Structure 1
């Protein structure tokens, strides 16, 4: 089995070739579109691995020629242009997989093996072009994982559950799925399910007939009907009242709704994207969230990283928000590199939402067109007292503990672990809103290990996360 590798970087090509040869493939390498097409016209390859930016053009834009020469050959696309737009363009070609650089070479080798074993390429490219003005910004590795998951759901109507802390941009993911997917010509309807009182949930989601209840002076189409042919985004699903969960489950299972006061079953055709900042599994165990609804919603989970896990994106986000602010009538500014670096070191508890609000405030208050670090400092100073990462405070706490407890030599580590483990778990759970999966990821431990220790320490994640 032979693989055609199109890569103009010699060092990357060398590594890929070695990995694929170790998998038993014969690798033929070239560095241009012209040479690629010549080779494809002369021999048959089991798979194509290609970079995007090549010496003579765009590797994605010319995939149509590859399809003409080798219709059934699976294609794996590599790119250093790690944006959502690139991921979507790669998906539009019907590529078997897309890898942003830098990538895991072992994963690439396994993917080529899977692609060859699949025996056929994915569906061909569509006629539609990607939407301009994509809502998500960032090229960090965690965001690349999000982009790849988004591209996997664009050509189907599978239900998506978007998970992540408040302010991470869950609605933006839903909008991207809608704008870039096959339902983009239809409406995008967003509803905060937690904000609807239990007695009104049926009316808001499913509509009502005239005279169905006091105040129902006319027929009302609910959110499901409003989203016909498009996407229905159910936000804050983890805070939905139990009674409302039951009614929602029935609609999702049957694919139809009945207006309040009506007798007719109305078929609904809307893609469902739900979102929550809550860890639903403990809620299921506690009886506050329906397990059957969870499985109905959690078909394709997409987890958005908090901003602290994608600090490399902060500078790009800040400049993006400055441009948005200028477009909305605020003064136009630019950021120096030292100012961007200072923003990257700041702890943003409210994630992207907090950063956006700060940048808008900065755009309003800054006096200079070019904003440097000194202009940021007065605005950032009031926020620093809330930063739990400050090493000085941690050093002081540990030092005070050593002085007060005075543990025996040789026992300091074990005693310190016992003393600080509980408050550490509590602090991390508060920061993640009780989400044990995110807490385990932050701590760098297995989720089952975290659960076991929480039980042993008698820590209730939901109780800890609940504001006092």
Structure 2
């Protein structure tokens, strides 16, 4: 079995030390590139995908801490080991705060170096993935980025209360996972958690789903039905896409929140309910209120506590962890021995824009596992939109709107497939219906 090639970049302005490390690491089976200073290292990271960077702290032109920060700006997921001849706590702490995975003291102990390298590479290849907390992991909330840590801290503060929560975020960011965590960590955790997607139902069906109906209340109502509020009594009711409900439903929902009682459709009897309400939307409800499409009083009732869901593009450090999580899940589900990702594939995943957020990443990894014939997922198994991502980003170039980038990729896929929309959709990793909708727009 052939091992996947591992590329290590050694950064040190001491040429003799670089040469010694290059010989040593090559003897251990690694491919090694050398950079004799920070700026040279940054240029190499722009042009090549490395599995790990081994960087000295004390360099004349640009020190190791500044070099580390610049490299992390280009590729947040790349593990960087810092070497220092000065075993000061301050230097080590500064390096770790700046994003170093670990540090080594010069002169290097080669046994310690080999052990640290193996641990670092296991981390970047996602062989050993640990969730930031057991409570987060059990709800599928995976990530170590600052944005994720802030989210987990907010959940921990808000969960014990009975306050109404409004979750705002783009589709696919994992809003329902937050709801599960809020419910399970509250005093209502043993009671029901009931969910309803408001955008999936028309007004009459939504009214029946929320409040229930009496037998004969409308055509097809052959028996009494309890609504979601009654089903959630004592527990939590999650209303997804709350920004899509009609003005009439807004009035009825406001009354339920204020009075804590509901009426079935076709009944004059009121039923008291004790429900914690959590709502979610991708819309800007404050803007909807200003436009007259959403009631201000209902908005204030819902917006007691707001939790903002960070899009995946704002937590790129978490992409390797999430990708590995999905790899394990789908490898097991499809009974395939998938060992991990090639460096090129992981680099593409990290730099892709992810307009569909975590749900899009999940779908991409499932597709890759299904198509894989080898042991490591490469760019060949990724959807075309991801595989054609421009990794070497020039920070000075003009930023292109995402819709224009998407349009270019779609047109390229159609050209490649000779105008075959079904095949283009397959290569893009989307449905034909989605492709037609995007072409129409």
TM-score category (smaller protein): 0.5 to 0.7
Equivalent residue number for residue 139 of structure 2: 134
Equivalent residue number for residue 70 of structure 2: none
**Mapped pair 1:351 → 2:400:** no
Equivalent residue number for residue 161 of structure 2: 156
Residues 312 and 357, structure 2, Cα contact 8 Å, conserved in 1: yes
Residues 168 and 351, structure 1, Cα contact 8 Å, conserved in 2: yes
Three-state SS of the structure 1 residue aligned to 2:166 is strand
Three-state SS of the structure 1 residue aligned to 2:139 is coil
**Mapped pair 1:291 → 2:340:** no
1:365 paired residue among 339, 360, 371: 371
1:186 is displaced (CA, Å) by: 1.2
Q: 1:186 to 1:367 in 2, by over 3 A?
A: same
Three-state SS of the structure 2 residue aligned to 1:302 is strand
The separation in 2 between residues aligned to 1:425 and 1:325, in whole angstroms, is 29
Equivalent residue number for residue 312 of structure 1: 317
Equivalent residue number for residue 379 of structure 1: 382
Equivalent residue number for residue 346 of structure 2: 340
Equivalent residue number for residue 218 of structure 1: 223
1:133 is displaced (CA, Å) by: 2.0
Residues 137 and 317, structure 1, Cα contact 8 Å, conserved in 2: yes
Q: 1:424 to 1:354 in 2, by over 3 A?
A: closer
Three-state SS of the structure 2 residue aligned to 1:217 is coil
The separation in 2 between residues aligned to 1:341 and 1:425, in whole angstroms, is 19
1:328 is displaced (CA, Å) by: 2.9
1:382 is displaced (CA, Å) by: 3.9
The separation in 2 between residues aligned to 1:220 and 1:299, in whole angstroms, is 31
Residues 159 and 273, structure 1, Cα contact 8 Å, conserved in 2: yes
The separation in 1 between residues aligned to 2:358 and 2:150, in whole angstroms, is 17
**Mapped pair 1:323 → 2:323:** no
The separation in 1 between residues aligned to 2:241 and 2:235, in whole angstroms, is 20
Three-state SS of the structure 2 residue aligned to 1:225 is helix
1:388 is displaced (CA, Å) by: 9.2
Q: 1:362 to 1:208 in 2, by over 3 A?
A: same
Q: 1:159 to 1:361 in 2, by over 3 A?
A: same
1:310 is displaced (CA, Å) by: 0.2
1:379 is displaced (CA, Å) by: 2.5
Residues 318 and 355, structure 1, Cα contact 8 Å, conserved in 2: yes
Per-residue deviation, residues 255-285 of structure 1 (Å, max 9, x unmatched): 1101111222111112111101111111111
The separation in 2 between residues aligned to 1:381 and 1:183, in whole angstroms, is 45
Q: 1:267 to 1:425 in 2, by over 3 A?
A: same
1:225 is displaced (CA, Å) by: 1.0
The separation in 2 between residues aligned to 1:12 and 1:146, in whole angstroms, is 30
Per-residue deviation, residues 222-269 of structure 1 (Å, max 9, x unmatched): 111111122111001111122111111111111110111122211111
1:380 is displaced (CA, Å) by: 4.0
**Structure 1: runs of 5 or more not aligned:** 1-8, 16-80, 86-129, 399-419, 429-466
Equivalent residue number for residue 114 of structure 1: none
TM normalised by structure 1 equals 0.55
Q: 1:389 to 1:336 in 2, by over 3 A?
A: closer
Residues 188 and 230, structure 1, Cα contact 8 Å, conserved in 2: yes
Q: How many residues align?
A: 285
RMSD of aligned alpha carbons = 3.3
1:297 is displaced (CA, Å) by: 0.7
The separation in 1 between residues aligned to 2:252 and 2:329, in whole angstroms, is 40
Three-state SS of the structure 1 residue aligned to 2:214 is coil
Residues 322 and 332, structure 1, Cα contact 8 Å, conserved in 2: no
1:144 is displaced (CA, Å) by: 0.7
Three-state SS of the structure 2 residue aligned to 1:301 is strand
1:217 is displaced (CA, Å) by: 0.8
1:390 is displaced (CA, Å) by: 8.2
**Structure 2: runs of 5 or more not aligned:** 1-87, 95-129, 406-439
Three-state SS of the structure 2 residue aligned to 1:234 is strand
**Mapped pair 1:83 → 2:89:** no
The separation in 2 between residues aligned to 1:210 and 1:202, in whole angstroms, is 15
Residues 367 and 381, structure 2, Cα contact 8 Å, conserved in 1: no
Equivalent residue number for residue 44 of structure 2: none
1:201 is displaced (CA, Å) by: 2.4
1:11 is displaced (CA, Å) by: 4.8
TM normalised by structure 2 equals 0.58
1:172 paired residue among 156, 163, 177: 177
The separation in 2 between residues aligned to 1:273 and 1:427, in whole angstroms, is 36
Per-residue deviation, residues 180-209 of structure 1 (Å, max 9, x unmatched): 222121111110112221122221100011
Q: 1:305 to 1:131 in 2, by over 3 A?
A: closer
Equivalent residue number for residue 261 of structure 1: 266
The separation in 2 between residues aligned to 1:315 and 1:377, in whole angstroms, is 18
The separation in 1 between residues aligned to 2:92 and 2:340, in whole angstroms, is 37
The separation in 1 between residues aligned to 2:376 and 2:332, in whole angstroms, is 17
Residues 338 and 369, structure 2, Cα contact 8 Å, conserved in 1: yes
The separation in 2 between residues aligned to 1:249 and 1:220, in whole angstroms, is 22
